[in-house]
Amino acid sequence: MESTRTLSGTLTLLLTKVTAIDIFPADLPDAPDNLACEVWDLNETLSSTYPSNYYDLIHSRCVAPGIKKDRWRSYLRDLKRLLRAGGWVQLVEYYYIIQSDSGQLTAEHALQQWSDGYRAAMEQDRDPRVGRHLANMLTTAGYTEVQERSYRVPLGVWPVGERKFFIGSWSCCWIVESPFVVVSIAQSAVPMLGDVEHVYRTRGSVPLDKPTCYHA
């Protein structure tokens, strides 16, 4: 993302150009004029395609399922080369493990089966735990002022409080709609997870429309 200036005393950015990269073509009918959507495999080097010392901010989010485990260190070096002096990199990754505070999440539970299956599939040539190592890898790659924050993301319709219920409902619906469900969860568990959408849409205190995206 390239910016021209910031307004004094605010965090508002006046943007001139935003480049969005994904492995699949994006279909955005209402895309603004300053947004360029491009297709690229992040396992390939970025340096030869995208200009060095050019971007003020690079936001990389939820790419662990796609990036091979031996690519991460060179990927972070690539991002550093693309940044202007004083630029920022922001990384957001899930830690693919599901836990229960109550201890009721058994090995037979559908969510536990999904978590174990998805993580096992990733471990073949991906790193499902990369989020826990990014701060160290950023420092090793030469980044400065590295900060790390972890958030617990609710999953399911049981959290107390509208915001957590909303996040948990959406997260569980994402699992139901995921193409990995058929290979990582017993088919008998899918109807149980499908009930989440019914609860989500009938609970009056929560908006009926699911968000386009949400990241805690």
Token pair 């968000």: residue: 211
* pLDDT computed for residue 175 by the predictor: 61
* pLDDT computed for residue 174 by the predictor: 64
Could you tell me which residues come within 8 angstroms of residue 163 by beta carbon, excluding any fewer than 6 positions away?
Answer: none
Nearest to 215 by CA among 180, 174, 177: 174
pLDDT, mean over the chain: 74
* pLDDT computed for residue 34 by the predictor: 85
d(CA 14, CA 56): 12
Q: Mean per-residue pLDDT for 131-138?
A: 93
* pLDDT computed for residue 23 by the predictor: 84
If one compares 50 and 194, the residue with the highest pLDDT of the two is 50
| Main-chain dihedrals φ then ψ at residue 4, nearest 5 degrees | -90, -40
If one compares 72 and 150, the residue with the highest pLDDT of the two is 72
Over 146-160, what HEC string results? CCCCCCCCCCCCCCC
Could you tell me which residues come within 8 angstroms of residue 212 by beta carbon, excluding any fewer than 6 positions away?
Answer: none
Q: Strand pairing of 13-22 and 2-6?
A: antiparallel
Q: Mean per-residue pLDDT for 186-214?
A: 39
Q: Mean per-residue pLDDT for 3-12?
A: 37
Is pLDDT above 80 for 143? Answer: yes
Digit-coded pLDDT (tens) for 19-47: 888 888 777 788 888 888 888 999 999 87
Cβ distance 3 to 18 under 8 Å? no
| Main-chain dihedrals φ then ψ at residue 39, nearest 5 degrees | -105, 130
Is pLDDT above 80 for 6? Answer: no
Is pLDDT above 90 for 89? Answer: yes
Could you tell me which residues come within 8 angstroms of residue 70 by beta carbon, excluding any fewer than 6 positions away?
Answer: none
> Tell me, what DSSP letter sits at residue 101?
S
Band of pLDDT at residue 120, cut at 50, 70 and 90 = confident
Token pair 């990036």: residue: 67
* pLDDT computed for residue 37 by the predictor: 87
If one compares 30 and 50, the residue with the highest pLDDT of the two is 50
Q: Which residues sit opposite 83 in a β-bridge? A: 55
d(CA 31, CA 124): 36
Band of pLDDT at residue 16, cut at 50, 70 and 90 = confident
Q: What is the number of other CB atoms lying within 10 angstroms of the CB of residue 152?
A: 10
H-type alpha helices, the chain: 72-82, 110-122, 134-140, 162-177, 181-184, 190-202
* pLDDT computed for residue 15 by the predictor: 57
Is pLDDT above 50 for 192? Answer: no
Nearest to 118 by CA among 181, 189, 188: 181
Query: For the chain, what are the domain ranges?
Result: 152-216
Task: Count H helices and E strands in the chain, helices first.
Answer: 6, 5
Is pLDDT above 60 for 200? Answer: no
